[in-house]
Amino acid sequence: MFIKRTQRILRGKTHSNHLVVESVATESGPRHRVIYSLGSLGPAPKAQWLKLAHHLQDSLGGQESFLEHSVQKQAWVQKATLTAKGKKKPNAGKELRIDLEKVEVEEAREAGTIHVGHQIWQRLGLDQLLAEVGFSHKACLLTQVMTLNRLIEPSSELAMSQWVARSALQDILKEDFSRLTKIDSIAI
């Protein structure tokens, strides 16, 4: 989802309109489908359009935001949600019931603390710093894994591979750690 600017000339005056659109695949190739018209975003900086589009996309998908947004953004989100849902309030009159007896957990993994640690690692630019001093990609990766392990669940190097297997590190770092052993972690 993104915001697309359109212009129209009417009676010699140029009018701008900003549309929230998404790309859809059709038989004729990719096309833009209009989700909502935001009108003129004249005073809003273009750099904020992508954030607004993501906020609208999250809201249309039912994701509530913990962040505070301006009154204007909240109004756009509410109008777009009502427009996209066919003028109905989302989940109006619907009650969600979950039978806790039938809920099963499969492959639960620790993710929150790992995600926070990874974000801090990235913001500090530690991968670039380690690469500048000569670390290989694998060495940078294992250094990050070992650091996160020591911060989140301090244990031995042998226990680290077990921690990696029950955590969401593979998903967050987009790497395969199935062959991670004590020898790999020492060989940095």
pLDDT in 10s for each residue of the chain, 188 residues: 777 878 888 888 887 877 778 788 888 888 888 877 777 665 566 666 667 667 676 776 666 665 556 666 666 666 666 666 554 444 555 667 788 888 888 878 888 899 999 999 999 999 999 999 999 988 998 899 989 999 998 888 788 888 888 888 888 888 887 776 554 444 44
**Which domain covers residue 133, as residue numbers?**
112-186
What are 43's two structure tokens?
Answer: 């005073």
CA pair distance 86, 1, nearest whole angstrom: 19
Residue 157 token pair = 């190097």
Confirm whether 101 is domain-assigned: no
152, amino acid identity: I
Residue 172 neighbours by CB distance under 10 Å:
16
Amino acid at 121: W
Distance separating alpha carbons of residues 88 and 103, to the nearest angstrom? 30
Is 97 domain-assigned?
no
Domain assignment of residue 58, yes or no: yes
Last residue of a domain, one of 33, 67, 84: 84
pTM, to two decimals: 0.44
Q: How would you list the strands of the sheet with 2-10, edge to edge?
A: 2-10, 13-26, 29-39
pLDDT at 42: 57
Examine the fold and report which residue of 40, 64, 84 is the final residue of a domain before the chain moves on. 84
Structure tokens belonging to residue 83: 């427009």
Measure the CA–CA gap between 47 and 56, rounded to whole angstroms: 15
Same domain, 8 and 72: yes
Residue 74 shares a structural domain with residue 119: no
Burial 92-126 (b: 16+ CB within 10 A, else e): eeeeeeeeeeeeeeeeeeeeeebeebbeebeeeeb
In a domain, 105, yes or no: no
78 and 9 part of one domain: yes
CA distance 3 to 94: 31
| Domain annotation covers residue 131 | yes
Q: Is residue 104 part of a domain?
A: no
Residue 13 falls within a domain, yes or no?
yes
Is 93 inside any structural domain? no
Angle among Cα 152, 183, 130 to the nearest 5 degrees reads: 60
pLDDT of the residue at 68: 59
pLDDT at 89: 46
For residues 61 and 124, membership in a common domain is answered with: no
For residues 72 and 31, membership in a common domain is answered with: yes
72 and 14 in a single domain? The answer is yes
Q: Are residues 66 and 130 in the same domain?
A: no
**Total number of domains constituting the chain:** 2
Query: Two tokens at 75?
Result: 């109004």
